Amino acid sequence: MTSLRTLRSLQPAAWVGPLLLALLGQFAALGQQLAPAGSGPNSSADPSAPLTLTLQDALARAQVNSPEFRSALTDAQLAHEDKVQGRAALLPNVNYNNQVIYTQGNNARTNTPAFIANNAVHEYISQGNVHQEFSLTSYGEFRRAAAAEALARAKAEIATRGLVVTVVKAYFGLVAAQRKYGTEQLAAEEARRFLDISQKLEHGGEVAHSDVIKAQIQFQQQQRDLEEARLEMGKSRLELAVLLFPDFNENFSVVDDLQMPQALPEFSEAQGMAGRKNPEVRAALAALQVARHEVTSAWGGVLPAASIDYFYGIDASRFATRQFDPVSGVFLNNLGSSVVASVQIPLWSWGANISKIKQADLRRTQARVELSFAQRQLLAHLRSFYDEAATARSELESLRQSAELASESLRLTNLRYQGGESTVLEVVDAQNTLTQARNAYADGQVRYRVAIATLQTVTGSF
């Protein structure tokens, strides 16, 4: 701040201005310190401000709101819980049972039950039970559930990559639609300007009235094209809004980064990634494992199974750990244990168990065929998707040059028309060529981005 001595040496008109500026600077700094967070002009706290989305933002929102993607994730989570339940079936289970049985007695002295299935008139059962089963069916079901979880996870990965393609198409479709709308705006403005030029030249007697008519027709056509471009941009916005927002929000904007295309790896590198990361082959392998374990489970129906139970607690005529015996005159211990082991041997099921084995074997054969087809399809898709991406990438530079040449051609044609060296048809043709070239360049950029996303459904991210 200017010192007091310096201010005194100045004329009033010379030091009042700097003093006011210094005071205003101090107030501005104080206001910035006291202002609440997020109250700046670029803050997103304003609910009316449009939300700016990048492609990664759009992908994250689509993963939350896409019902097909969420369904695939839910299936994977359900498959995981099936595996947990299958593993639990192989481990001992512990239960605690409490039971009271009241039975009609024969007489009060003997305390013997009239209902012979019970041990006493009053029978109290309170005991823990450890139960363990040994069955090929249980083991096969656990292994099948584990393979089914791997299958569900592979399908979830397929859904993830498919969702990326869908979002990329919708996202860059909106970007291209906005570009085309801007191109049509420029074309409409160019048509209006050319109509003004032709009218002025007609007034000067340099061109015929037919030129003005052609220019007016071109202007009207550009106005119609502008409306169509606006409609197409609105449709693209709605399509993307359905994917991204649960409340159908249309107040958003997207970042146009089509000028930064993603690099395309060499085919050998893409082939290696496809061999390691392809979810469709993983899904086919997991489906084959599921079918194999179904065969194992089916064989459990024709082989013996065993179970063992260990009981510890009381099973007495008194609900107590100790009980007085009037015959012996001593207290007896009611706590005790018992072990029950059993073996179940299937003998006759009218062919049902054999039929289940045949069914499981048919599914296993079908899974092998589907795995072989998935491997062949992987090779075909890899070549097809890579060639599509490579072709789209190679055409980008040509499309860009065509758009630049069309712009220069229109400029030169307009100059030649004003100099009386070209016709109105050449000007109209140059205008249409420029519009088509710019739209083709935008479509080419979107095509390459979609081709990359489609290739990554086979190879994974690169």
Length reported for the chain: 462
Contact 250, 209 (CB under 8 A): no
For residues 445 and 212, is the Cβ–Cβ distance under 8 A? Answer: no
Rounded Cα gap, residues 201 and 191, in angstroms = 15
Whether 26 is in a domain gets the answer no
Residue 247, pLDDT above cutoff 80: yes
Provide the domain limits for residue 273.
57-91+136-302+352-459
167 and 266 in a single domain? The answer is yes
Domain count, the chain: 2
99 plus 244 within the same structural domain: no
8 A C-beta contact, residue 128 and residue 313: yes
Instruction: Tell whether the model's pLDDT for residue 140 goes beyond 70.
Output: yes
In-domain check, residue 33: no
Q: Please report the pLDDT score of residue 426 as a whole number.
A: 92
Higher pLDDT, 443 or 50: 443
Burial of 352-374, coded b for 16+ CB within 10 Å and e otherwise, reads: ebeebbeebeebbeebeebbeeb
403 and 444 share one domain = yes
Q: Is the pLDDT of residue 31 over 50?
A: no
For residue 209, give the CATH number of its domain.
1.20.1600.10
Question: Of 362, 299, 302, which is closest to residue 140 (Cα–Cα)?
Answer: 299
What local confidence, expressed as pLDDT, does residue 111 receive?
62
Residue type, 73: L
283 within domain boundaries:
yes
In a domain, 66, yes or no: yes
Can you give the pTM of this predicted structure? 0.76
Dump pLDDT digits (tens) for 168-212.
Answer: 999 999 999 999 999 999 999 999 999 999 999 889 888 889 989
Q: Looking at the domain assignment, is residue 291 inside a domain?
A: yes
| Residue bearing the bigger pLDDT, 457 or 50 | 457
- Separation of alpha carbons 20 and 93, rounded Å: 84
Q: Specify the pLDDT at position 248.
A: 83
Residue 35 covered by a domain: no
Quick one: angle between helices 136-203 and 209-244, nearest 10? 160
Q: Which residue is it, tokens 């249309």?
A: 250
Taking only the tens place, the pLDDT of each residue in 144-161 is 999 999 999 999 999 999
Check whether 364 has a pLDDT greater than 60. yes
d(CA 201, CA 207): 6
Query: Same structural domain for residues 438 and 455?
Result: yes
Same domain, 77 and 160: yes
Residues 326 and 361 in one domain: no
The answer on pLDDT for 18 being more than 50 is: no
Of 34-43, 118-127, 291-300, where does mean pLDDT reach its minimum? 34-43
Average pLDDT over residues 74-90: 93
Q: Is residue 114 part of a domain?
A: yes
Confidence of residue 115 (pLDDT cuts 50, 70, 90): low
Residues 129 and 140 in one domain: no
Is 47's pLDDT higher than 70? no
Q: Are residues 124 and 234 in the same domain?
A: no
Q: Do 449 and 308 fall within a single domain?
A: no
Which of residues 292, 314, 345 is at a domain's end? 345
Q: How confident is the model at residue 319 (pLDDT cuts 50, 70, 90)?
A: confident
Q: With left for phi above 0 and alpha for psi between -120 and 50, is residue 460 left, alpha or beta?
A: left
Residues 274 and 336 in one domain: no
Q: Are residues 130 and 145 in the same domain?
A: no
Whether 1 maps to a domain, the answer reads no
402 and 433 part of one domain: yes
Per-residue DSSP letters for 37-64?
TT-STT-TT-TTSPEEE-HHHHHHHHHH
